[in-house]
Structure 1
């Protein structure tokens, strides 16, 4: 391998690694994927990825050429459209369909690609997803409607955060603060006895880091200690910021509009839960920027995860139904990876959103601080811990039963 070829290859691997990190790839999957790429080009490699750093070391057989690079990165956000296109591009390169120079050019084009759904559809997806989550939490129709409206307000804050660094640093507390204050105002002027904490939780569910907690524990189980610890602690800090903002907003709301009793929502028919799963899956399509050809798979994954978890909960107690749901989801996602030749993450993430216990962690935090229960539940802390462990174990078992062909 001559010097020029080595430089071209390491530039491509470096750009590929930074893009996959930007699109929210878990560290253990990112490192394994980049190792496969480097091995294909005849290079030895060592990669170290965390949510905030990416270190790459490359060398040839006899160390004629060596290269190392360490970069400070921002935590990535899930972008299934770019992730899928990047994986397809890497596959075309490895199969000899395109040259290295052409692949490098197309990587730049993918990185500059906007969301295929635009801002308006994404805003509607926020409203749809928050209303759907309220359905799954057993809210009444009033809470469902108001959750959707406040969810759109949260989306406006996220748009502002993209334009302002100061807002991005305080996105979680300021968004939850305004949601808490407006929820108190709605409850006061509507005089309908709403469960304001349930509305707040549903409105903020897109920002609640339940998925980050699960990914962090999955990284810890794969012995990515640094990355897993960082991700878990970052998720905990996001959760604290969200709750503090909401608690401050509600406290101010009580001062302005008077103390309000926490009302329990009227029970809706069970079929509303299935409608909520469908609405949530459709909303996540735009939020995760899923490509149209993968949309049916992504929607199906949410139904598989929810139905398996709900069915098994009938005879498994203490949240262990999440193990069955995660196992079924993992098998389906790996099957998708084999059939569609695409990363299993594309369909696994929407299904995990239905199962992750971030909402239960938030509920437990509220019960501990305020002494009020958002919903009637016992042993919330124990159940949250068991769900987290069950999710990780279910995905590990699924990878044994149905191994994936791709590292991503």
Structure 2
């Protein structure tokens, strides 16, 4: 008996979708996936796979500000092409996963293209799986956890958590103030945290000023954009790579400028000492609280509730790879090994569950990216130590390249099916 959910516009291997239906659906999927944070490489891979499944030849090019769609019936047939401008994407792994679920249903033949279109439109109106309070905890846990990992003392760590809470408030407030406030959010958030840190250092002289500011604003650090842009340039996605790299470096400079302005402003009201930072927290506490960092990343990036445990597990495996590689040779090998493990395990999980690999891989990559090194490098240069600052700043690009090589190796070992 025929499945009543299937119709002439449902995808199946034996029934070719009409050209117009395929074109409209691919455009809808592309725009939605771009909006929810799909990387250029994954999006192009997905759309090309969809076109092939529908029986057509597709040619797609995605950048952070536009998508170029191209579709033709055969290699010799005329090509329909269109370029659509897109707003900058916002990573929302829950919505990305819901889009992936719709595509799985279509591929299984249980959902028609006609019925899929309103489902995709409805995804945009679905509230995030984690409300404001869990999202706030995500910021706090992430600032707290990174402070421990980067060698902060207890006072530094607790203040980093408090400042992360303040930054989350700025993130919520900025969109209400308009696009200009959002554009300058990296500067304003760092300025506020820098000002408060400078005031507190007057009474807590052993406060690690750079580390506290860094971990306070760490959720807004553009390390992922810089790493992604560097990797895209290496893989010849020049336009997307240049845009991501430029936007990431611009945000990083804004953050450094904001932090410097904030500290200088605080120095007008109080005397800021230059005592040595306090001793780092005992490593046993880092092991105990490390899971908070992994949960915090998942909450902040809206990992679906059903995938939270898997996201934490893949991030933990990636970090174990970092520790293992670092103990064998150095941190670069650690980042390489951690990235490879994250991609392989994430691809296996995706094959087993038919869920987008990005859900569990992206938080792991965000754990490894080198934006913190770039922030420290620019801060060191601003303090007058140009040699060390330049060394730290360029190390950020080495980390980015290492991660990209790890992604490519992981995909070569475990080639995933086209998904988000």
TM-score by length of 2: 0.90
Aligned residue for 2:54? 41
Partner of 2:219, secondary structure, is coil
Aligned residue for 1:283? 296
2 CA distance for matches of 1:367 and 1:186?
A: 21
| Distance verdict in 2 for CA 1:242–1:65, change over 3 Å | same
- 2:268 corresponds, among 255, 264, 285, to 255
Q: Is the 8 A contact 2:154 2:280 kept in 1?
A: no
Partner of 2:328, secondary structure, is coil
Aligned residue for 2:180? 166
Q: Is the 8 A contact 1:366 1:372 kept in 2?
A: no
1 CA distance for matches of 2:288 and 2:404?
A: 27
What pairs with 1:119-198 in structure 2 (closer than 5 Å)? 119-163=132-176, 164-188=178-202, 190-191=203-204, 193-198=206-211
Q: Is the 8 A contact 2:144 2:157 kept in 1?
A: yes
Determine if the alignment matches structure 1 residue 60 to structure 2 residue 53.
no
CA shift for structure 1 position 221? 2.9
2 CA distance for matches of 1:62 and 1:394?
A: 34
Determine if the alignment matches structure 1 residue 244 to structure 2 residue 254.
no
CA shift for structure 1 position 76? 1.0
2 CA distance for matches of 1:8 and 1:41?
A: 10
1 CA distance for matches of 2:51 and 2:126?
A: 26
Unmatched 5+ stretches in structure 1? none
- 1:393 corresponds, among 389, 396, 405, to 405
Partner of 1:319, secondary structure, is helix
User: Which stretches of structure 1, 4 residues or longer, exceed 4 Å deviation after superposition?
Assistant: 62-66, 376-379
Q: Is the 8 A contact 1:301 1:333 kept in 2?
A: yes
Q: Is the 8 A contact 2:149 2:286 kept in 1?
A: yes
Determine if the alignment matches structure 1 residue 353 to structure 2 residue 366.
yes
Q: Is the 8 A contact 1:308 1:325 kept in 2?
A: yes
Partner of 1:368, secondary structure, is helix
TM-score by length of 1: 0.93
CA shift for structure 1 position 406? 2.9
Aligned residue for 1:316? 329
Q: Is the 8 A contact 1:312 1:321 kept in 2?
A: yes
2 CA distance for matches of 1:246 and 1:103?
A: 47
Aligned residue for 2:95? 82
Greater shift, 199-208 or 6-15, is seen at 6-15
| Distance verdict in 2 for CA 1:381–1:315, change over 3 Å | farther
Determine if the alignment matches structure 1 residue 304 to structure 2 residue 317.
yes
2 CA distance for matches of 1:45 and 1:402?
A: 24
Query: Aligned pair count?
Result: 404
Aligned residue for 2:352? 339
2 CA distance for matches of 1:146 and 1:223?
A: 42
2 CA distance for matches of 1:236 and 1:39?
A: 37
Aligned residue for 1:71? 84
CA shift for structure 1 position 263? 3.4
Determine if the alignment matches structure 1 residue 228 to structure 2 residue 241.
yes
